[in-house]
Chain A
């Protein structure tokens, strides 16, 4: 079946540090890949997505590139801010599975001033 694996958390960084959160997936064919973010006390919201190999999704300084050869979709940001503190979820969907999203475990990020 489809699955998503994220790097273990939590991750704690200082402001302006470089961020990488690893995400790998298992799926046949060509899934679409997503990063969602959850701020404290809120629901998840879409951060970025990529729908085919070598696509790069980007938003709010975050980037992730769809790597088919390594089945990965790592999230990066060059300089994090305190306001980036949240839980980040990697997810995939496949057309053959309808509209459902399969989520990874989530990675808690804390950015200290």
Chain B
């Protein structure tokens, strides 16, 4: 398996535009996580899915953020409209369940200008 694959690696967009981040988890992993990393706030869990169902989205900062997992091999994180304070590195991760290793993608570096 190629690991968790995220796209794009870098995204620069203007304030007010819609941004869609994509993630392909490792095949067979039941859990998928979206994290955001900033210098000020560190790593924050935004939302996670179990078997494609959102379990906890309490970390999603605002209604501007939404996430979907239409099938076991694909998830999206959408920001609409984007704002400069959304600039961060967004990571997707997946694992088999409790106590198992979480595998992270290389992240998407988002810059909103």
Residue numbers of A with Cβ under 8 A of B are 32, 36, 41-46, 49, 51, 89, 93, 95, 98-106
Contact = CB atoms under 8 A, between A and B. Distances in A.
B101 A99 contact: no
Contact of B98 (A43, A99, A102, A103): A99
B91 A99 contact: no
A32 B95 CA distance: 15
Interface size class of B (residues with CB under 8 A): 20 to 34
Given A98-B55, A99-B31, A99-B98, A43 B104 contact: yes
Interface of B: 4, 30-31, 33, 42-43, 45, 48, 50, 55-56, 91, 93, 95, 97-107
B67 to A, nearest CB: 14
27 contacts: A32-B98, A32-B99, A36-B102, A41-B106, A42-B107, A44-B43, A44-B93, A44-B102, A44-B104, A45-B103, A45-B104, A51-B99, A89-B43, A93-B99, A99-B50, A99-B95, A99-B97, A99-B98, A99-B102, A100-B33, A100-B56, A101-B33, A101-B102, A102-B45, A103-B42, A106-B42, A106-B43
